[in-house]
A and B are shown apart, each in its own frame.
Chain A
Amino acid sequence: VTVVESGGGWVQPGGSLRLSCAPSGFSFGAFSMNWIRQAPGKGLEWVSLISRNGDTHYTDSVKGRFTVSRDNSKGTLFLQMDNVRADDTAVYYCARSTRITLIAAALTSWGQGTRVTVSS
């Protein structure tokens, strides 16, 4: 299994960024996919999940600003980040849920992450 996140970089407060995640080595369309972030020197924070059917869930701090989506035909996961804030600065990881039969489960097949820096 290989997971590659991309799209990170520097963005000003209030700006937008679109992250991508392209896993390979498993049947992408069969599993829920998650975004998790880690601010510099801090712990892990679950950000969002999209089920294989497209149902979405978010942590409260990003609701209304971030949008998760997926293209099962291309095997790619996205995170559209709008109206970003300084506290969105973090490494963003994508990971797969472990069970097909559950929307949410343990997280496996983590990528190496993509770094997002929000600063003026």
Chain B
Amino acid sequence: EIVLTQSPDFQSVTAKEKVTITCRASQSIDTSLHWYQQKPGQAPKLIIKFAYQSLSGVPSRFSGSGSGTDFALTINGLEAEDVATYYCHQSSAFPNTFGQGSKLEIK
């Protein structure tokens, strides 16, 4: 099973700050890595697919990078509405797996 390790588990940031969340895979997964945003009481929402591909309707301040084993989700200029828990997910191999989540809070 491929283990995904996210960092940090929790981060308190100021509005408009640049935020980076990393996700490290226990073996190479090429670019089969996706990012989700989950707000309290809501279902997760896909925000980046295949490491860096953006999605329609997702603000341009969200971007993804990486390949192989090391990936990053960057939020350029955090807004209050971005307070959420973020998860990475790999679809390279079965069983698919998720990272443990990274919770963002506004200071």
Contact = CB atoms under 8 A, between A and B. Distances in A.
Interface of A: 34, 36, 43-46, 49, 57-60, 93, 97-98, 102, 104-108, 110-113
Interface residues of B, number: 24
Interface stretch (B15-23, B45-53, B66-74, B76-84): B45-53
Interface in B61-99: 85, 87, 89, 91-92, 94-99
Contacts of B100: 43
Given A46-B89, A60-B1, A107 B95 contact: no
B43 A46 contact: no
B10 to A, nearest CB: 13
B98 A46 contact: yes
Contacts of A58: 95
A110 B43 contact: yes
A57 B87 contact: no
